[in-house]
Homo-oligomer: A and B are copies of this chain.
Amino acid sequence: MPSKAAEDYLKHIFLLHQRAQEDLVPMGDLAESMGVVPGTATSMVKKLNAARLVNYEAYSGVKLTAKGRRIALQVLRRHRIIETLLVKTFGLDWSEVHDEAEQLEHTISDRLLERIDVFLGHPTTDPHGDPIPSAQGQLPKSSPRRLSDCSQGEKVTICRIVDQDQDFLRFIEQHGLKPGSQVQIDVIDEAGDSIRILPERKKPLIMGSHAARKLLVESSG
């Protein structure tokens, strides 16, 4: 029943809520994330509130109701399954599937989605390592560390890249840092705000800690 726009708002509220520890998502953050002017976010959120999909407190922020959360997770599931299909089956580059999925997530029927899920063999993570919610809306939770928090000499496996920016993803790919790749932490330069890492097959590289914070890892072995 919710419109495409409404689905996107719910999804963005969910994601912003996840990444900030705050209970309420501020309207400014939501507007920025949605790429709209703040007043637009306010008016949409009021509609979502009237539809009992969010709880909205003026001047404080917004959070999802159980119903809103359910829809947000469904949209996320669609998005990530579609991305997986585009990369695995049709060979699109992982850096270019996000925008396509952003549209398709609102267009594909439940029936088709489940067929695709079966076709892909029920994948649990998308090409960026993002977990795929189950059809029942369960999000397999794990708490991987950030690459930026690892200690010198450690060997870790990249498991997730939390940034959809095309240029960043291409950068990551060029240095062989896709989910599943192993790297060793070579040097941590606190003063220089950077980290030097040794990918398995590619050349060593130095990346700023801001970028390193966007790579999630788990211990190898």
Contact = CB atoms under 8 A, between A and B. Distances in A.
Interface string A160-183: 000000000000000000000000
A12 to B, nearest CB: 20
Interface in A74-129: 86, 89-92, 96, 100, 103-104, 107-109, 111-112, 115-116, 119
B107 A92 contact: no
B119 A92 contact: no
A115 B100 contact: no
A90 to B, nearest CB: 4
Interface residues of A, number: 17
B112 A100 contact: yes
A90 B91 CA distance: 17
A116 B89 CA distance: 9
A115 B100 CA distance: 13
Contact of A92 (B92, B96, B103, B115): B115
B107 A90 contact: no
Contacts of A96: 111
A109 B100 CA distance: 7
A107 B78 CA distance: 15
A81 to B, nearest CB: 12
Given A100-B112, A103-B107, 13 more contacts: A86-B112, A89-B119, A90-B112, A90-B116, A90-B119, A91-B115, A92-B111, A92-B112, A100-B108, A100-B109, A104-B107, A104-B108, A107-B107
Interface of A: 86, 89-92, 96, 100, 103-104, 107-109, 111-112, 115-116, 119
8 residue pairs, one from A and one from B, having the closest CB atoms: A90-B115, A107-B107, A103-B107, A100-B109, A104-B107, A90-B119, A100-B112, A91-B115
19 contacts: A86-B112, A89-B119, A90-B112, A90-B115, A90-B116, A90-B119, A91-B115, A92-B111, A92-B112, A92-B115, A96-B111, A100-B108, A100-B109, A100-B112, A103-B107, A104-B104, A104-B107, A104-B108, A107-B107
